[in-house]
Amino acid sequence: MKSLYAKSPAELEKILKLEKSYQAKQIYSWLIKGVTDYDKMTNIPKKVRDDLKEHFPKAISSKIVKVQKADSATKLLIELYDESLIECVMLTDGDNRKTACISSQVGCAMGCSFCKTGTMGLVRNLEDFEIVEQMVHLRTLAEDITHIVFMGMGEPLHNFGPLMSAISEFHRSEGYNISMRRMTISTSGLVPGINKLTELNLGIRLAVSLVSANNELRSNIMKVNRSYPLPELKKALISFQHTMGKRITLEYCMLSGVNTTKESAKELSQFTKGLMCVVNLIPWNPIDELEYESPTESEIRAFTRELDSLNVSYTLRMTKGRSISGACGQLATSTRR
């Protein structure tokens, strides 16, 4: 057993072979508070704690190896049980609302050309407890994290089972008790995964990294578009929305001279027709190994003016955490230390 996380109190009772079920609830609530040292679980009898130490020496499988702070973002480098490294970030907004940005894979198979994680390739999927443990580590920075975005390393819908298991753990009322509407899955546009989400009808929010509403250009920038082109993506989004009734976020990473033209704005406006959505404009963050450039301020202004004239609803997200590489598309680690 690598970790006691992502298990319900009832599962813990079985796994730990506890004689009294209330002890499983007590252990569960220590774990949620981030207490993983059995000796600190003061309401658990010594005999039980000694048994736990002998049979399950580690309650948590990962550890923080580096903390970097900048602006309102704090990035943690996490070492997993096999020495793989992942990153997660806590973002604090102007209203002091704290959001955990969580990874779902080590690396990513999607290979989006503007994204640093995409350069790593897929190393492996995270297990459900590894997704949950990121929250445990982020809560050492602040206990009042109220929102989660699955927007760290990896394509969450490419690791569907463990992602769903982690989401139900985050939602558990005796645990973190985070409502579905405060969790957002951010996908590159993996249509079968979106369709599965629609079937499950969890009430969770969806963000799609659109980047371009021109099918050919999007296929050049994002390989996923070659398998699931824009018309298929739009169909999946409409049916998600039809079932869920929730506004979808279209992340639009602005790449200078690539997707910031008048024509791009028009195509974007066309794509949004029939969708209840908001476009989140994110000026691209410079990444050494990649060829793109960040848009200039006047380029951003010209693009937003165009969107205004086309009545496209958008927000402009000036990137938090740029100086610590904790902004969108910048999470990547060497896979081993």
Long-range contacts of 27-34 (CB under 8 A, 24+ apart): 27/52, 28/174, 28/175, 29/174, 31/4, 31/5, 31/59, 31/136, 32/174, 32/175, 32/176, 34/136, 34/139, 34/140
Which entry of 101, 112, 277, 328 is annotated as an active-site residue?
A: 328
Please name the residue that has the structure tokens 């000026």: 283
328 is catalytic: yes
Report the nearest approach of ligand SF4 to the CB of residue 277 (Å).
Answer: 18
The footprint of ligand SF4 on residues 191-210 (CB under 6 A) is 209
Report the nearest approach of ligand SF4 to the CB of residue 121 (Å).
Answer: 10
Angle made by CA atoms 177, 70, 124, in degrees to the nearest 5: 60
Q: How many CA atoms lie within 13 A of 275 on its CB side?
A: 27
Whether the CB-CB separation of 156 and 167 falls below 8 Å is answered with no
Given 9, 193, 321, 329, the residue binding ligand SF4 (CB under 6 A): 329
Given 159, 188, 272, 330, the residue binding ligand SF4 (CB under 6 A): 188
User: Per CB under 6 A, does 306 bind ligand SF4?
Assistant: no
Q: Which is nearer to ligand SF4, 295 or 329 (CB)?
A: 329
Query: For residue 254, with 0-12 CB atoms within 10 Å meaning exposed, 13-18 middle and 19 or more buried, which class applies?
Result: buried
Residues 230, 236, 239, 240, CA torsion sign: negative
Q: Which is nearer to ligand SF4, 154 or 295 (CB)?
A: 154
Whether the CB-CB separation of 213 and 230 falls below 8 Å is answered with yes
Q: Which is nearer to ligand SF4, 145 or 153 (CB)?
A: 153
Report CA dihedral (285, 95, 275, 228) to the nearest 10 degrees. Answer: 40
Structural tokens at position 230:
């824009």
**C-alpha to C-alpha distance for 88 and 175, rounded to whole angstroms:** 20
The footprint of ligand SF4 on residues 242-281 (CB under 6 A) is none
Report the nearest approach of ligand SF4 to the CB of residue 134 (Å).
Answer: 15
Total number of residues that touch ligand SF4 (CB under 6 A): 13
Which entry of 79, 87, 130, 306 is annotated as an active-site residue?
A: 87
The footprint of ligand SF4 on residues 209-238 (CB under 6 A) is 209
Q: Which is nearer to ligand SF4, 24 or 80 (CB)?
A: 80
Structural tokens at position 23:
């002890």
The footprint of ligand SF4 on residues 97-156 (CB under 6 A) is 108, 110-112, 115, 117-118, 153-155
Q: Kind of pairing, strands 122-125 and 205-209?
A: unpaired
Q: Which is nearer to ligand SF4, 125 or 188 (CB)?
A: 188
Whether the CB-CB separation of 12 and 29 falls below 8 Å is answered with no
Q: Which is nearer to ligand SF4, 122 or 300 (CB)?
A: 122
**C-alpha to C-alpha distance for 240 and 246, rounded to whole angstroms:** 8
Report the nearest approach of ligand SF4 to the CB of residue 292 (Å).
Answer: 13
Report the nearest approach of ligand SF4 to the CB of residue 8 (Å).
Answer: 30
Report the nearest approach of ligand SF4 to the CB of residue 138 (Å).
Answer: 19
Residues making contact with ligand SF4 (CB under 6 A): 108, 110-112, 115, 117-118, 153-155, 188, 209, 329
What positions carry a catalytic annotation? 87, 328
